[in-house]
Structure 1
Amino acid sequence: MRDDEYEAPAGGEELIPMAPREALDIWLERQQMDKSESTVQSYRYRVRPFVEFLEDEGIENLNDLNGRHLLRFDSMRRSSGDVQKNTLNNQLGTIRQFLEFGIRANAVEPAVASQIDIPQVSKDERINREKLPTQRAKDILAYLDRFEYASRDHVLAFLLWETGARIGSLRALDLEDVYLEEDDLDRLRYQEDLDVGESVLEEILGGVELPFLYFRHRPDTDTPLKKKASGERPVNISEDLGDVLRDYIQFLRADGEDEYGRKALLASKKSVGRISLSGIRIRAYELTQPCQVGKECPHDRDPQDCDARVNGQQSRCPSVRSPHKWRTGSVTWHRDRGWPPEDIATKMATSVELVNSVYDQPEKLKRMSIRRQNLDKLYEK
């Protein structure tokens, strides 16, 4: 039974006891039915502090929850001084969803959820305008091409920038998902989504241009895609990226298989298997530290003493960009080079609406110069 199939308890109906942590576990388990792992994880991060607060308040049963508890939690979060309005909006909105589940489960008084005061956030406030600028990305790739050619960092940075893929998608890539040579196309003959007649298959394969990657949803072996099966897609890559991948696979990739017998493209250096999501995130942070790619520190820090150089503390550098900002920068770069939003959405497994409203963060004068080229076309004979 889905959450929305529960009936809210009628007024005056006796509530059923349920501990806050038990309710959270049940709610998150239900979310896994139709939400991605990363979304469920974000829900856990947002609601867990609320559950811990209730436990500190001595609330062992959600039946006892009332508006005063919500007010105290809200006041505590707002007075902490380290929470942004948009963050609070997301957290309180998710807590409301959790409490609405509690109401449907007959564990929370029906009026409680509506007493959460969620701050209103404008469209501009919801959108983080920060991105990895194109020139910085080019400088990073140029440094890696010169000093760390075909290293895992080089491959990762190239993939982040050129494909704009989510880190879960990059982590999911196996060697067999990389198509660089004509012989690699034979693997497609055995893919279930190409279950067509021989003549049709030959026609399809005959029109395929190398090199490309094929992102696959494999949840049973620990590499789900955020969009699940609908996120499966082939993505063309440049000849330059293909060359880097070819040399990395042949000479520098750490050999071995993961626990499921699969050969990851981005193999772990510390253990047999594939790199972790946190490992990709840390590398994305570190590669955007200027001092790591041959640049002077713009923050007047001594790299020898900088706490952002400590492993696990890379995000403390003001210049770093998260993988999401690599993705935002990549979308903007694609748009600046004339890519239609529809093609970007297909390539990066997102929606045209998100491409236009969230990911595309153009420099207005630069984008105007691109439109100028289209203006000139109006008068071509």
Structure 2
Amino acid sequence: MTDHLDDVEFLKQHLSGDPPEELLEQIASTVVDHMADSFPELSLKSRSMEAVLSEFREKKLEEVNSTGQYKRKLNYLQTYLEDEACVETTEDLTSEDVERYDKWRKYESLSRDEPLSDTTLRDDMYLFREFIRYLIEHRMAPVRFEKCVEIPEIDYDGGEGVDEKKLDPEIAKAALDHLRKYEYADIEHVSMELMCHSGPRKGGLIGRDVPHFDYDERVLHYESQETTPLKNDEGSKREITLYDDVPEIIQDYLNDQRPPVIDEEGREPLLTKGDGRMSPSTLQKIAYKWTRPCAVGLDCPHDRDPEDCEAAQKNNSAYKCPSSRAPHHIRTGYITDQKNRGVSAGGIDQRCDVSPRVQKLHYDLPDDAEERERYEDEFRNAADDPNSGFNHE
């Protein structure tokens, strides 16, 4: 009885003013759950996701003219729900599955390493929202799931939006310091060292084999293979020098922690957790996990309590942290930082396999202060000319 009175008092306090939307949704969901016991027609239906997807596909393809385009979009939707989220019935679908689709579609669904463009993602998310509405309309998902679908905004006047997220150098340093101290030379540490040390493409990194690492020469070889091709095939073939303690860390991993794994092609993948070559989604999860500020000893920049934050408490929810970054963002942060330090476009092209034009468009993303600082020395040197009336003193 006391618990009931406490609940009533709690509701009076929180509903008297302007209650948060989350609370109202929670109350509504609880009420429906209780009513479903007395009114079975209100309860959610549980159906095979495969059957529901088939029905939705048939319905959608009857409505559109460009069936080829929609077949591809529907294939991605089906792959995510059945293979990535492992949803067998509509009852298995969670709000987290719904929230994560946009990140999977943008960063993990393609064989190439560059993310999906925002314009294409926007179209796909409209279709995904239509599917969620279909589930809701047929009582196979709660109404609140629709609000878990985020449609990206695009500034069409300024051209197609570029993904301007990048890993902050402070977080990169804190992550590596933490891993070197507490997770030394394990697979996640080595993965982060290589991502932060050379800004590789995701596919290029997971395609490296043990023989590609030369400890004596302190070099990592990038060679295109039939089953793990590089973006530009032979044009991407190169060697990169490994600096500081990175060669020792990799060698310690190979000596002490790497399982003796051979993949189905008879190759020895450099990055493995013991079940074959590391997958793109696993590398993605490692990146999200170790770029959360709170996970590497930094304060939360979002004023969240790590004890109450789902992104901090669950590694599988690390992507929900606003500061967490994907491998592509680590690559962008690395290239921007190297340009800030004065490395030439040609040097970055050799190390990261990205042309100066593409660097400028997609990877070199300095903020205003960084861009100003890059040119300070040039203007300072020009001001030393005593014959110029336009000095900067």
Cα distance, 1:170 vs structure 2? 0.7
- Give the letter aligned to residue 260 of structure 1: E
Distance in structure 1 (CA, Å) of the matches to 2:332 and 2:356: 14
1:134 matched to 2:169? yes
1:5-154 to structure 2, matched below 5 A, reads: 20=67, 24=71, 37-38=111-112, 82-86=150-154, 120-123=156-159, 126-154=161-189
Q: Which residue of structure 2 lines up, in the alignment, with residue 283 of structure 1?
A: 286
- Give the letter aligned to residue 154 of structure 1: H
1:224 matched to 2:259? no
1:307 matched to 2:310? yes
Cα distance, 1:367 vs structure 2? 4.2
**CA deviation map 1:16-59 (0-9, x unaligned):** xx99369846xx9xxxxxxx8338995998669769979x99xx
Question: Residue 85 of structure 1 contacts residue 121 of structure 1 at CA under 8 Å; is this kept in 2?
Answer: no
**CA deviation map 1:56-84 (0-9, x unaligned):** 99xxxxxxxxxxxxxxxxxxxxx997212
**CA deviation map 1:199-226 (0-9, x unaligned):** xxxxxxxxxxx3111112113x3x2222
1:292 matched to 2:295? yes
Question: Residue 164 of structure 1 contacts residue 327 of structure 1 at CA under 8 Å; is this kept in 2?
Answer: yes
Cα distance, 1:152 vs structure 2? 1.6
Q: Which residue of structure 1 lines up, in the alignment, with residue 320 of structure 2?
A: 316
Cα distance, 1:242 vs structure 2? 1.2
- Give the letter aligned to residue 323 of structure 1: P
Give aligned pairs, total: 270
Question: Residue 288 of structure 1 contacts residue 319 of structure 1 at CA under 8 Å; is this kept in 2?
Answer: yes
Instruction: Label 1:376 to 1:302 Cα distance change in 2 as closer, same or farther (>3 A).
Output: closer
Cα distance, 1:377 vs structure 2? 5.0
Cα distance, 1:268 vs structure 2? 2.0
- Give the letter aligned to residue 229 of structure 1: E
Instruction: Label 1:258 to 1:49 Cα distance change in 2 as closer, same or farther (>3 A).
Output: farther
Q: Percent identity, aligned pairs only?
A: 28
With CA pairs under 8 Å and 6+ residues apart, which has the higher RCO, 1 or 2?
A: 1
Scaled by the length of structure 1, the TM-score of the pair is: 0.61
Question: Residue 37 of structure 1 contacts residue 226 of structure 1 at CA under 8 Å; is this kept in 2?
Answer: no
- Give the letter aligned to residue 366 of structure 2: P
Distance in structure 1 (CA, Å) of the matches to 2:129 and 2:148: 16
Scaled by the length of structure 2, the TM-score of the pair is: 0.59
Instruction: Label 1:40 to 1:53 Cα distance change in 2 as closer, same or farther (>3 A).
Output: farther
Instruction: Label 1:284 to 1:40 Cα distance change in 2 as closer, same or farther (>3 A).
Output: closer
Question: Residue 255 of structure 1 contacts residue 267 of structure 1 at CA under 8 Å; is this kept in 2?
Answer: no
Question: Residue 289 of structure 2 contacts residue 315 of structure 2 at CA under 8 Å; is this kept in 1?
Answer: no
1:190-269 to structure 2, matched below 5 A, reads: 210-219=217-226, 221=227, 223-269=228-274
Instruction: Label 1:85 to 1:298 Cα distance change in 2 as closer, same or farther (>3 A).
Output: closer
